[in-house]
Amino acid sequence: MKKKWTWAACAAALALVSTQASAQSSVTIYGLLDVGLTYISNMSGHSSLQFKDGQNSPNLWGITGTEDLGGGWKTIFLLRDQIVIGTGSILNGQSLWSKSAYVGMKNERYGVMTAGEQYDFMRDMVKDSPAEISGHLYSYPGGIFTKLAIPGNPSGSFDWSRLTGTPISNSVRYESPSFAGFHVGAMYGFGNVAGSIGAGNGSSFLVSYEHGTFGADAAYTTTKHVGTPGPDVTIRNGAVGSRYTWGPVFMTALITTVRNVANGTAAASYSAGAMYHVTPLWSLGFSYMYQKGNEALSNQHANEIAGIVDYALSKRTSVYALGAWQRTNDGFRANIDGLLGATAPASGPNQEVFRVGLHTRF
């Protein structure tokens, strides 16, 4: 009888430990989904009405989780992919979990270390981006500077700022805890090229400050692309931004830069914007952006304004209407970044976009 009681006690203890371990760990499935209709005023001289998804935010779904190891340490992981709702497929040119796939350790005292396929610190600058509170994908820097010729880029200059999230493979990333409002980050991606440590690698750095309703950030990223064939191409990105909340008004300002070391092309964008929360359900956003290329980009430049009206149906779902207008200097063709495709550039210096859509998250 005593033996039976001992085995029962052990089983109960194991069950209790298992329950406690489960309570200290979690796995969550989450996502962002956006669908809508977009009217484009000028695509090679013709207007167009299109079903487009992933414009107010990328269509992402992922699995994230943590495990409490005790002593303040946690194991964390993230698997994330981008999908096309209109066709039910993975984003063209991508593979499963190609947006993010990493695992790491977290400690409130020592910071966070992760390893795998993950965004560089230019993506962290999105919290300072006026595009996020106005035209979204249509308001990110890019589009007009096709001579930038960024390797692997759909148009050579789509999202040249890397703000929408471009992962670096085989990377190790560290972020420090906050000290007096400051925290820093560093990241290195291994090129895994035989016979060369530097070929195909990438590095990124971040300095961030937050105090009450004010925040400021600076980031720098270098990526090296192995020439196949041809010489290697080095792309350098930088950004400085800030944000401030004043009652129902949220304001941001951001400067981003890019340089292709191989061909000498370089560009910069300067943007500012504000969002006004009229009520807990209604919000209005507006932004202005100026993009300027260097002499290697024929001194091409563009002005762009964008705005959005958003109504929250719930904490997770909203409907919205947004618009963007871009004008380049004479002799060049407008090309709003979010449109892409060979037929996207306008026939002249002006292009307008209007969109209505539904956005939800889970």
Question: Does residue 18 carry a pLDDT above 80?
Answer: no
Considering 6-15, 80-89, 295-304, the range whose residues carry the highest mean pLDDT is 295-304
CA-wise closest residue to 301 among 309, 311, 292: 292
Per-residue model confidence (pLDDT) at position 14: 36
**Integer Cα distance of 259 and 157 in angstroms:** 11
3-class DSSP assignment, residue 2: helix
pLDDT bucket at 317, cuts 50 / 70 / 90: very high
Q: Distance between the two ends of the chain, CA-based, in angstroms?
A: 52
The Cα-based distances of 264 to 156, 261, 351 in angstroms read 14, 5, 28
**Integer Cα distance of 140 and 132 in angstroms:** 9
* CA 291 to the chain's CA centroid: 19
Q: What is the pLDDT of residues 70-117, one digit of tens each?
A: 999 999 999 999 999 999 988 877 888 989 999 999 999 999 999 999
Angle at 223 between CA 110 and CA 293, to 5 degrees: 120
In the chain the domains, ranked by start, together with CATH numbers, are: 25-361 (2.40.160.10)
Each residue of 188-207: b (16+ CB within 10 Å) or e? ebebeeeeeeeebbbbbbbe
Question: Does residue 212 carry a pLDDT above 80?
Answer: yes
Question: Does residue 23 carry a pLDDT above 80?
Answer: no
Question: Does residue 236 carry a pLDDT above 50?
Answer: yes
Per-residue model confidence (pLDDT) at position 227: 76
Q: What is the pLDDT of residues 26-58, one digit of tens each?
A: 999 999 999 999 999 999 899 999 999 999 999
Per-residue model confidence (pLDDT) at position 190: 95
Per-residue model confidence (pLDDT) at position 343: 58
Instruction: Record the tokens describing residue 20, joined without a space.
Output: 């406690």
Instruction: Record the tokens describing residue 46, joined without a space.
Output: 């013709």
Whether omega before 229 lies within 30 degrees of 0, making that bond cis, reads: yes
**Integer Cα distance of 151 and 224 in angstroms:** 10
Per-residue model confidence (pLDDT) at position 54: 93
Which pTM was predicted? 0.89
Q: What is the share, in percent, of the chain residues with pLDDT greater than 90?
A: 79
